[in-house]
Amino acid sequence: MFRSFFFLVAALIAAFTHAGTNEEGLKFLAAKEKEEGVVKLPSGLLYKEIRPGVGKTPTISQPTNCHYAGRLIDGTEFDSSYKRGQPLTFAPNQVIKGWTEAMMLMKEGAKWELYIPSELAYGDRGAGALIPGGAALIFDIEMLEVLDSK
């Protein structure tokens, strides 16, 4: 009984101490939101359309070929398909929440810059050694092609 109670209390403490986006990220997102051309969605995701698309919009499970580059708000790049010289294939339901939401609005051929609060990215856990917990992230994403579902 005591053991179950202990785990319940620990879970509640963990739930209520969720930090979300860190202070630097919140300041960055607040400033970015005021920039011309930046759109804020109800989830908190911000984006700027660099180039509109004219093709198809993917379904949640429809694969796409995309180029992307991800960086921290200080400009540190942590991943780039451009640098690898090859786009990646993935569906909106295979990526972080911020990407999923953006991809469902993008059309084939579009290029957007995304400003993602940590709650829609990797949260408090971060990702590997390069993305700390609570980090807001910036992604350039270029939807090259929406592939046929099989």
Residues annotated as catalytic (active site), given as ranges: 68, 78-79, 96, 122, 139
Report how far apart, in Å, the C-alpha atoms of 100 and of each of 43, 64, 104 are.
12, 12, 6
Any idea what the Cα angle at residue 116 is, between residues 16 and 128, rounded to 5°? Answer: 75
Q: What is the DSSP letter of 127?
A: B
- Residue with the two structure tokens 């109800």: 42
Q: Is the Cβ–Cβ distance between 131 and 137 less than 8 Å?
A: yes
Torsion of CA 106, 78, 98, 24, to 10 degrees: -130
C-alpha 45/C-alpha 39 separation (Å) is: 8
Q: Exposed, middle or buried by CB within 10 Å (0-12, 13-18, 19+), for 97?
A: middle
